């Protein structure tokens, strides 16, 4: 799907991920006095908030939610700034702040408030999809069409098959799968394999903005990562259709399901196209109050699309694509998303951290590492195979995999979709997904920056 408060460009607003990896701006660490001041402010703020929660009753309703949002915004931002000097992306700081403040550690944010905060997910995912679609530029796709075709085929096929098989093989170490029948286990494993195919456009954009890289690896990676959002949304819709009857025997498998799926996909594309054209007209004729418009799209349009049985993420992705490629309003549109996303994304990922079932993750952490390792190996092998088939240049053959490791907002959004669709195992499934995303978000951007440096495509 950079980060707040410092976004390298409007294009990087797809999610709050690292615009600066391993070494701060241009490799120079921030002023030590500023870091110490931030640490002191963070500690004092947490202490004051802790005292207020212990001495005063929990604020009622909306007031409690607003208070929690304010706390998470400041705490998550300061934590991410402090972790930046350790070479960690800001997303890690957001997640860490949410985990520490959540109901399983310091209990600063009660569980009831966390549930209310998850309503911001619709807005965050809408912004991620809109920005991701707006980065799908036809000129970039055309330059790498042969390489893109082979990479899409091999990456999606090999990663899906290998990771699905690894999930089944690791069943003994995944407690929430122990009571599943064989068919149900295969269904859950397919869902996990589908998640493994997803990438992180914003991590790619953040590193490219930082390094100002231009070259074969940068172009190939940008095309692959941006187009992967469309592929993974369609693929997950297909997998959900296949997995439902495998997991729930009361649901019979029918080819009618694929007809409904096709209707949902085509309907989502049609609605997204219409929405994109309406956005173009609005940007040209009005062009003001874009933040209000984005909030309305995130909350109202998401609910309407979901109620009608269409896929909001795919519709918003298509809408962003239409705005970028059928008008001259793409950069203006992305700038508006950046303005709104600078707040929403922090709360989104901090809330994801607070929502994390920490005791369960402690049990699943070794499996998260194992599944991440399998996915990374499959990604490297698939990249090498695709590059040979497409006859890519040596640089792409060697480093084409490096930008495909990161995962972020879309992966978490899809895991939330699985959680809602399958409440029996959804919560631990999503907790495992969050653990793997955290790992991939640390390792992935570092790998991509290293590749750009090694190939000489980075300007600095």
Break the chain into its structural domains and give their ranges: 122-454
The most confident of the ranges 46-55, 117-126, 359-368, 389-398 is: 389-398
Q: Give the pLDDT score at 38.
A: 81
Q: Quick one: pLDDT band at residue 20, thresholds 50, 70, 90?
A: very low
How far apart, in Å, are the Cα atoms of 135 and each of 99, 138, 195, 319?
Answer: 31, 9, 21, 11
- CA 167/CA 358 separation, integer angstroms: 21
Sequential DSSP letters for 284-351:
HHT---HHHHHHHIIIIIHHHHHHHT--HHHHHHHHHHHHHHSSS-HHHHHHHHHHHHHHHHHHHHHH
Q: Is residue 421 within 8 Å of residue 13, measured between CB atoms?
A: no
- Lowest mean pLDDT, pick from 53-57, 75-79, 244-248, 302-306: 53-57
The label of the residue with tokens 């929405």 reads: 275
What value does the mean pLDDT of the chain take? Answer: 79
In terms of average pLDDT, the best of 20-34, 166-180, 290-304 is 166-180
Tokens 């194992």 — which residue? 370
As a whole number of Å, the CA-based R_g of the chain is 21
| pLDDT number for residue 5 | 34
Distance CA 196, CA 338 (A): 27
Q: Cα separation of 275 and 279, whole Å? A: 6
Give the per-residue pLDDT at 254.
60
Q: The CATH number of 122-454 is which of 1.10.287.130, 3.40.50.720, 3.40.50.970, 1.20.1530.20?
A: 1.20.1530.20
Tens-digit pLDDT profile for residues 52-78: 777 766 665 667 677 888 888 888 888
Specify the residue for token string 């922090």: 346
pLDDT band at 215 (very low <50, low <70, confident <90, very high): confident
What is the predicted pLDDT for the residue at 192? 94
**Residue 193 contacts residue 167 (beta carbons within 8 Å):** yes
Ramachandran quadrant class, 119 (left: phi over 0; alpha: psi -120 to 50; beta: rest): alpha
Give percent of the chain with pLDDT exceeding 90: 16
Tokens for 224, please give them: 């692959």
Both structure tokens of 87: 């070479």
Instruction: Name the DSSP letter for residue 403.
Output: G
pLDDT by residue (tens digit) across 338-357? 777 667 777 777 887 787 76
Query: Which residues, 6+ apart, have CB-to-CB distance to 338 below 8 Å?
Result: 7, 10, 12, 13
Q: What is the pLDDT at residue 159?
A: 93
Cα angle 414, 10, 270; round to 5:
50
> CB of 81 within 8 A of CB of 103?
no
Query: Interior CA angle at 311 toward 306 and 317, to 5°?
Result: 125
Per-residue confidence (pLDDT) for residue 15, from 0 to 100: 40
Q: What are phi and psi of 382, to 5 degrees?
A: -60, -40
């Amino acid at each position: 799907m950079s980060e707040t408060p410092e976004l390298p460009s409007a294009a990087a607003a797809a999610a709050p991920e690292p615009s600066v990896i391993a070494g701060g701006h241009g490799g120079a660490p921030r002023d030590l006095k500023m870091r110490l001041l931030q640490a002191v402010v963070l500690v004092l703020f947490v202490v004051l908030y802790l005292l207020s929660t212990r001495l005063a009753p929990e604020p009622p309703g909306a007031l409690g939610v607003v208070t929690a949002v304010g706390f998470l915004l400041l705490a998550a931002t300061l934590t991410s700034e402090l972790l930046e000097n350790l070479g960690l992306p800001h997303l890690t700081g957001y997640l860490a702040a949410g985990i520490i403040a959540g109901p399983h550690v310091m209990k600063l944010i009660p569980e009831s408030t966390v549930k209310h905060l998850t309503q911001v997910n619709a807005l965050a995912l809408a912004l991620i999809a809109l920005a991701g679609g707006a980065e799908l530029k036809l000129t970039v796709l055309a330059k790498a069409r042969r390489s893109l075709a082979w990479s899409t085929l091999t990456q999606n096929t090999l990663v899906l098959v290998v990771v699905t098989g690894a999930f089944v093989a690791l069943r003994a170490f995944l407690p929430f799968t122990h009571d599943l029948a064989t068919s149900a286990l295969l269904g859950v494993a397919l869902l996990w394999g589908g998640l493994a195919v997803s990438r992180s456009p914003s991590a790619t954009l953040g590193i490219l903005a930082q390094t100002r890289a231009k070259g074969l690896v940068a172009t190939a990676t940008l095309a692959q990562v941006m187009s992967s959002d469309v592929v993974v949304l369609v693929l997950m819709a297909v997998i959900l259709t296949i997995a439902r009857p495998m997991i729930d025997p009361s649901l019979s498998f029918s080819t009618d399901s694929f007809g409904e799926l096709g209707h949902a996909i085509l309907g989502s594309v049609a609605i997204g196209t219409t929405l994109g054209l309406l956005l173009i007209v609005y940007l040209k004729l009005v062009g003001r109050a874009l933040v209000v418009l984005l909030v309305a799209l995130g909350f109202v349009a998401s609910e309407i699309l979901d109620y009608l049985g269409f896929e909001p993420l795919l519709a918003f992705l298509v809408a962003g694509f239409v705005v970028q490629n059928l008008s001259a309003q793409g950069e203006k549109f992305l700038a508006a998303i950046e303005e709104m996303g600078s707040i929403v994304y922090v709360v989104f990922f901090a809330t994801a951290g607070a929502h994390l079932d920490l005791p369960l993750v402690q049990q699943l952490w070794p499996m998260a590492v194992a599944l991440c390792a399998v996915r990374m190996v499959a990604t490297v092998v698939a990249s090498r195979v695709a590059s040979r088939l497409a006859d890519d240049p040596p640089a792409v053959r060697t480093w084409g995999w490096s930008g495909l490791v990161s995962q972020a907002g879309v992966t978490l959004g899809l895991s939330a979709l699985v959680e809602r669709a399958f409440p029996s195992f959804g919560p631990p499934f999503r907790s495992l997904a969050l653990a793997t995303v955290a790992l991939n978000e640390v390792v992935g951007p570092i790998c991509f920056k290293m590749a750009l440096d090694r190939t000489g495509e980075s300007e600095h």
